[in-house]
Amino acid sequence: MRAFLFLSALLVGCSSSPPPVDDSPVAETSVEPERAAPEPIRHVEGRAGFSWEPPGGWNMITTQESPYYVAQAPSEDGFVSNINISPGDYSGDMETYFQLSVDQLKAMYPEMVFETQDTTRNVPKLVTVNEFEPGVKIRQFFYFLNAPERSKVYVMVCTQDAMKPSLEAECDRSADSFKLQDIVAPKAWYSVDVPQGWTKKEDPSMQDDMYVNATTGFSLVINRTPFEGSVDDFEKAAQIDSYLTVSSTDTFDTAAGEAKRLTGMSVGNPEIEQRIYFVGVPGSVIMMVCTKPPKTTEMELCEKAVSSFSLLP
């Protein structure tokens, strides 16, 4: 029996006869064409006087760590690649600035690996790999954008998971798209009843409008960020939990519509209470933040201002 089975198997495997033809109808299948990558859209920082093109399909968000909008890629395995820009006052030559930056990074991160130091391209580039936290390596592309007419250098930093395919081509394109333009004062787009005695902080580099009580330090910040998605999606993209320990979540009525309200304490200073309000409107999310320093009692005034918030036609 064993020989038969073995022989049968051998014959089946070596048969020279053609297999039987299956003439039953075959259902047609359609192959879905590959979707083209989204085209990049130029982002304008009117108050700062420059513009650039983030990679297509990335979201532009605001964070407390950056004076300008930050581009974020869709999350991949829990990691969000991003591009941010920071300004620096400088009026010397770029080679010196570049070397000073390299020396500073080496001093701050002794284990950092320097893969590329290219000062020959129009926008000098530095590429590094560093262990961001145990088991997580990041690759960063630093681009040095010189603006001698403003005595500034803008540094664009593109950060990605070092274990993923390189984003160098996308980052290069974004850096090379950077250009200066006239500083444009933003048009009024909202109305809000600011508490008496609070003043608007005038800072052309800020992307937010900030109203402050100079005596107590209590403040209200208002920001509008282009965003295609829900308020909940925006909350995750903005990584609110990185700077606010949320104690409660509810809704709050404003003249512009219902807002999602988060209440909690600042991660950096647990004595500071913050309430964050999100209002979703077509194509963007409005975020308002009431910040209450210790030993102040103006939260009701700030919330009254938030409730009065409305969009101008």
DSSP per-residue codes, the chain: -HHHHHHHHHHHHH--SPPPP--S-----PPPPPPPPPPP--EEETTTTEEE-PPTTPEEE--TT-SS-EEEPPPBTTB--EEEEEEEE--S-HHHHHHHHHHHHHHH-TT-EEEEEE-SSSS-EEEEEEEEETTEEEEEEEEEEEEGGGTEEEEEEEEEETTSPP-HHHHHHHHHT-EE----PPPP-EE--PPTT-EEE--TT-SSEEEE-TTT--EEEEEEEE-SS-HHHHHHHTTGGGTEEEEEEEEEEETTEEEEEEEEEESS-TT-EEEEEEEEETTEEEEEEEEE-TT---HHHHHHHHHH-EE--
Residues in the chain predicted with pLDDT less than 50, given as ranges, are 1-31
pLDDT in the model for residue 227: 86
pLDDT in the model for residue 29: 42
User: What is the set of domains in the chain, with CATH numbers?
Assistant: 43-180 (3.40.1000.10), 190-311 (3.40.1000.10)
The label of the residue with tokens 């600042």 reads 266
pLDDT in the model for residue 17: 33
Is the separation of the CB atoms in 179 and 52 below 8 Å?
A: yes
pTM tops 0.75: no
Cross-strand bridge partners of residue 113: 129
88-98 pLDDT, tens per residue?
Answer: 999 999 999 99
pLDDT in the model for residue 204: 62
Name the residue among 312, 244, 295 with its Cα closest to residue 278. 244
Q: Which residues, 6 or more positions from 23, have their beta carbon under 8 angstroms from its beta carbon?
A: none
